[in-house]
Amino acid sequence: MEHIYSNYSDKELLRKWGEKLQSLRVEANLSQTELAQKTGMSRSSIAEIEKGRNFSIASLISISRSLNMLDKFEFFFKEEEYELTPMEIYEKEKKKRKRGGYKK
């Protein structure tokens, strides 16, 4: 299944990110200057991002943290879970210590 965003150009996606960040900032009742102070960025950087100019992932993380939205990126940080194969289980059990005591 193809997602609709894959049809957008990079410029269009940056513009959409900027628009969304602007609406989240306004919703949080913050001016560009206040958000800039919270993130350690300049006000002009915030304005450029909101206009859809290119920005770094570090900027996105900083803004998301300041807007309490960092948890929206959970899928990047979540470790994949998978089933151990019988051989992996066997190897793991084999490495466990069987007794207490001092190793020499």
What's the pLDDT tens digit per position in 64-88? 999 999 888 887 877 766 677 888 8
Determine, yes or no, domain membership for 53.
Answer: yes
Cβ proximity of 30 and 61 under 8 Å:
no
Residues 38-44: contacts with CB under 8 Å, at least 24 apart: 38/66, 39/63, 39/65, 39/66
Work out the pLDDT band at 9, boundaries 50, 70, 90. very high
- Write the pLDDT tens digit of every residue in 27-37: 999 999 999 99
Determine, yes or no, domain membership for 50.
Answer: yes
Determine, yes or no, domain membership for 100.
Answer: no
Domain CATH number, residue 18: 1.10.260.40
Work out the pLDDT band at 93, boundaries 50, 70, 90. confident
Q: Is 41 exposed, middle or buried (0-12, 13-18, 19+ CB in 10 A)?
A: buried
pLDDT given at position 5? 81
Please give the residue range of the domain that contains residue 50.
4-95
The model's pTM is 0.68
Question: CA–CA separation, 8 vs 76, rounded Å?
Answer: 21
